[in-house]
Amino acid sequence: MKYIVNHKTISYDALGETIRGKDEVLLNNALDLTAKTDWHNTGFTIEKLFPATIYSAFGEATHKLLLHLWRSAGLNIPDSFLLDQYHTATSNPEQHLAAIEKTRLLSVEDFPLGVEAIEKLISEICQVPLVAKNPFDSQSIFHFRVIRPNSTDNNPLHRDVWLEDFDNCINLYIPIAGSNEDSSLIILPGSHRWPESRVERTEAGAVINGIKFNVPAITVIDGHYLIARPDPQENEVLIFSPYLIHGGSVNFNTDKTRISIEMRLWKK
C-alpha cells in the first residue's frame, strides 16, 4: 500500500490473506453518531475541550499519570521530564514494549480530572447522550497512543469497525504532546460512506515488518481519494466516526514523540 502524506510517500507491505468486502456501506446498517451534526458527510470535526484553567489542571494530571505509568514499567525519569521526549527514555525494544503496555486499557476511573466532562461535551456536540462504556464487553477504558519519531509504532490504514466490538460508537483523539501537522492522526474524509468493495484489506490483523497488529490493514484503495491530517491544537479534540478510514500516522518529527489520548463513547 502506498499513499502520500506531508508530500512524502509512505508504503507498507502487509502480510496475510486479503479480502474485498461486499458492495455495501457498513454505516447504512449501523448507528451513526455523526448523523445529527453538520460534519456527518466528512465524518470528523475538531472541537475545543475545556476552559483554560481546567485544561491547565488536565495537563498537569495527565503529565503526572504518564510519569507514574512509565516509572511502573521501570523507566527512570524526573518529575520535570518532557513527555514529547519519551523516545529518549527507552534504550531497547523490551523496555519500550513494557512502557507501552502500561499505557493501554486504562480504566476511565483513572482519566485525568474524571471522564464525565468529556462525556458531557461530546454528547452535546453529537446531540446524543454518550458514555465511555462499550456495550459489547462492558469495558470502560482509554489509551495513551505513543508514536516515536520516524518509527513504525503507528497502525496501518484501517476502519475500527473491522474489529467486532467497535461499531456504533464515536472516536476521540486528544493531543497530549508532540502532535502537530507532521505527526497527528491521518484520516480519509468521507470514507465512512464508502462501500466495502472499494478497498482490499487483510482478513485479520496484519503483519508488517515483522510486527503483528490487531487491526486489518488496507492493501488497495480503488479510485481517487483524499488524505487529510487534521491538526488539533492544545485543548482541542478530534472527533471522528469509527467507520472512517484512518491510521498510517507516521510521525515525521525528528525529535518529538507524539502522544495522544484515544477513547470511544457509545450511546447511553
pLDDT above 90: residue 116: yes
Number of domains making up the chain = 1
DSSP of the chain: -EEEETTEEEE--EES-EEE--S--GGGGS--TTTTSTTTTTTEEEEE-S-HHHHHHHHHHHHHHHHHHHHHTT----TT--GGGGGGT--SHHHHHHHHHHTSSEEGGGSTT-SHHHHHHHHHHHTS-EES--TTT---EEEEEEE-TTSS-SPPSB-GGGSTT--SEEEEEEEEES-STTTSPPB-TTGGGS-GGGEEEESSS-EETTEE-SS--EEEE-S----B-----TTEEEEE-TTS-B-------SS--EEEEEEEEEE-
Q: What is the CATH number of the domain that holds 152?
A: 2.60.120.620
Taking residues 37-64, report their average pLDDT. Answer: 97
Q: Name the residue range of residue 162's domain.
A: 2-267
Q: Is the pLDDT score of 152 beyond 90? A: no
Confidence grade of residue 215 (pLDDT, cut at 50, 70, 90): very high
pLDDT at residue 209, as a whole number:
87
